[in-house]
Structure formats: C-alpha cells, structure tokens
Amino acid sequence: MDFKDLEYFAAIARCGNITHAAQQLYVSQPTLSKFLQKLEGDTGLVLFQRAGRRLELTYAGQRYLAHAERLLSQKREMDAELTDLLRADTGVLHVGMPPFRCSFSLPEVLPAFRAQFLQVQFRIEEAPSAELDRKLLEGEIDLAFYMSFARHPGLSYRVLRRDRMYAVFGKGHPLEQAAAREGSFAWEWLEGQTLLLQNQTQRQGQYILQELRSRRLHPAEILESSNIRAAAALAANGYGIGFLSGELLEHLNNAVPFNAFPLRDCTLPLESVAAWRAGNYLPRYALAFIERMEQLENQKYNNSATKMH
C-alpha cells in the first residue's frame, strides 16, 4: 500500500463511482476497477457495496477511509513543511470561498499573490460555507474564507474582520420611518413579515434562523435562495426583507435604491474568517495569502465605514 493507492481509494469514496473517480485521477476505468478488486482481495474485506449506480462505503470501508485520509493529510503537511524549509515556495494552494465573496475578493488578491509566488499553483473551489467546512475536514482544500459565527473543533480560524448584519428592504416600506428614526432595525419587527434568506448551507441563512429561533419570532413566510444578489434585488423591489453582512452589502451594487439598517442587539458574533484544518502546517505562501485577504478586508472596511448607515 502506497500513497497513490490511498489517493485512489479516497477518490472512489468521494465520487461513489469508478468512472468519475477515474476521470478525476486521470487514469483508466479498468485500472481503477482492478485496483479496487486487488485491494479488497489483499485486505479480505468488502469495502464498498453497490446501491444503484453508486458505490457506498461499508463500515470496514469507512474505517479504511478514515485512516487513509489521516495518512494523506500527514503526507501533505510533511511535503508542505519540507518545501517551506527549502524556501522554494513551490506547491499547490487550494482555496475555497462562497461564490459571491469570490467575485469581489479574488480579483483584488490573486494577481499580487501570483506575482509574489510564481511557482505556486492556485486552485479555487466555490461552494457554500457548510460545504467548505467538509472539504477542509476531508483535506480537499487548504484554506477557506467565509463568514462565521460559530467554531468547529476540527478547524483553526483567524479573524479577518468583525462585522454586522443588516436588514435590507425597499424604499417606502412600512418599517422605513421607524428604522430611520432608530438608526437600526429591531428583531421584533420581523414578526409576521416575509423574509428572504440564503439557504441553510450558507452562513447568513444559518445566522438569521438561529437568531429568529432564540427570540421565538414567527415570520409570515420565508423564501430561501442561494443567490445573494437575487434575494437583495427582491427586497429592494418590495418583496419582503432580506439580510446582508456589512461586507457583502459593500459589494452589492444593486441598481434599485433600497434601505439597509443594522440589526440591533444581536446575540451572535459575526466575523469574516480564514479557516483551515486544525493541526495542518501552513506553508509561507498560504500565510501570505491569508495576510493579503486580511489587508483587503481592512481596506474595504476603512473605505466604507463612513458610508454605511
């Protein structure tokens, strides 16, 4: 058993399909099928069972995968640390971000990063925050950047910026005068309202739902969407109340004028963070990418602080 075999097994488990795993690994399907047959023959264990067109891990397969992922993670850490010690600054940096954050962060950060680290290959994974957590824990990506209000014990974090959550709604909304008079938006005003939330794989949706539950508030209707811009546009056009962090609000660029007021007395913190698997060694170029993201966060915050309500 070598590291290539561990990577083959992990890919089959991740894809649940020999053909898709072979495509990811750039090997032929017969090669991968023979590998799996030999592995199960050598171990004397059934590692996968067929469920329709998918291959699902047996209990033995789940335990094998846990050990395989741990060994592969340790190898990646060893390779990264030794490379860093040689100061070669070569390697591959896998970064994950939600799509909206990626749209405004990556164009600002990546060109300067690439100029500094010419030998580092960069890979980007766009996915909701909950999916990025899974990819970090399973070693599919090295870093993730997203909004956070809780901590996973298997991850390490660096806070890049502390933020606020804003209620977003159209001009002329019945709550406009009250919010303008107070300079903020009260949670109890959401009772009986139509709310526009990001779905529950996204941090903003999780944040609002948790606050609503803790306050025992009952909206008239909740419309969930993974598209942040679409939800904000609906709110601006009078269809309910949406929600955006201050950072995302800065980059919205909505064509229709709207109101945005900070939610007051929030019980949950709201932070923009860099996250990575706990215990993973971060090479110099990964730390440099985090620092560039932090500089961008601070720059945007300072530029917009006087413009926000």
The answer, yes or no, to whether residue 194 has pLDDT greater than 50, is yes
121, burial (CB in 10 Å: exposed 0-12, middle 13-18, buried 19+):
exposed
What is the chain's mean pLDDT, rounded? 89
pLDDT digits (tens, 9 = 90+) for 235-255: 999 999 999 999 888 888 777
The answer, yes or no, to whether residue 309 has pLDDT greater than 50, is no
Stronger pLDDT, 298 or 271, i.e. the higher one? 271
Predicted pLDDT of residue 280? 86
Predicted pLDDT of residue 78? 82
The answer, yes or no, to whether residue 160 has pLDDT greater than 80, is yes
Residue % of the chain over a pLDDT of 70 = 94
Q: What is the rounded distance in angstroms from the CA atom of residue 167 to the CA atom of residue 249? A: 10
Residue % of the chain over a pLDDT of 90 = 64
Name the pLDDT band for 202 (thresholds 50, 70, 90): confident
Pairing of strands 54-57, 91-97: unpaired
Secondary structure E strands in 52-129: 54-57, 91-97, 120-126
Q: What is the pTM of this model?
A: 0.70
Query: Which stretch of DSSP H or E encloses residue 156?
Result: strand 155-162
Averaged pLDDT, 203-211: 92
Pairing of strands 271-277, 143-148: antiparallel
Q: What is the rounded distance in angstroms from the CA atom of residue 64 to the CA atom of residue 82? A: 27
The answer, yes or no, to whether residue 10 has pLDDT greater than 70, is yes
Name the pLDDT band for 141 (thresholds 50, 70, 90): very high
pLDDT digits (tens, 9 = 90+) for 172-181: 999 999 999 9
pLDDT digits (tens, 9 = 90+) for 57-105: 999 999 999 999 888 888 887 877 776 665 657 788 999 999 999 999 9
The answer, yes or no, to whether residue 307 has pLDDT greater than 80, is no
Predicted pLDDT of residue 50? 87
The answer, yes or no, to whether residue 301 has pLDDT greater than 60, is no
The answer, yes or no, to whether residue 219 has pLDDT greater than 90, is yes
Q: What is the rounded distance in angstroms from the CA atom of residue 168 to the CA atom of residue 119? A: 43
Predicted pLDDT of residue 93? 93
Predicted pLDDT of residue 147? 93
Please give the domain boundaries of the chain with CATH numbers for all domains: 3-80 (1.10.10.10), 87-162+271-304 (3.40.190.10), 165-262 (3.40.190.10)
Neighbours of 223 (CB within 10 A): 14
